[in-house]
Structure 1
């Protein structure tokens, strides 16, 4: 099964973290940055994706999103740190670098 759903964390302009779930990460990041994403991010733009995980179903992704939202900021920062290299490589590919 293709990995169609992603859980992501964005770092907002005020350094806070927001966790969400989507089936189109590029579009979702754009929506956050034009003020049409989550209410939480509207006044904290720009946002930057700093973490992603892929899942085969929406249900799996939503369960993981909930798990991440229950984490402390320190736990989320550790998750981000461990996956930083992976994210940078993926977005370089998306942006054609």
Structure 2
């Protein structure tokens, strides 16, 4: 089975958050950075990877994405800040994944 990833994107000003799921995080985040990810991410220029989780299979990642999308906005930001307090772009650290 393919691995799965849940990821959070934000914009330059860190004001909007987007949660996505993919089986190829490198390619998917790169598409977002090029403005080809989705209409929502393109419209709001959500290109900064601020959080990601890896799963052994895509179905677990999809279940987690659904769970996270039901969370309150502040809970999402708290999760991100707990793991990435400076809200840095993690895209360059994906090589280890």
TM over 0.5: yes
Query: Partner of 1:11 in structure 2?
Result: 10
Could you tell me the TM-score, scaled by structure 2's length? 0.79
- Ranges of 4+ aligned residues in structure 1 off by more than 6 Å: none
Could you tell me the TM-score, scaled by structure 1's length? 0.79
Query: Partner of 1:57 in structure 2?
Result: 57
Q: Provide structure 1 residue ranges, at least 5 long, that are not aligned to the other structure.
A: none
Query: Partner of 1:81 in structure 2?
Result: 81
CA drift at 1:46: 4.9
CA drift at 1:12: 2.3
Alpha carbons 1:13, 1:44 under 8 Å: kept: no
Greater fraction of residues in helix: 1
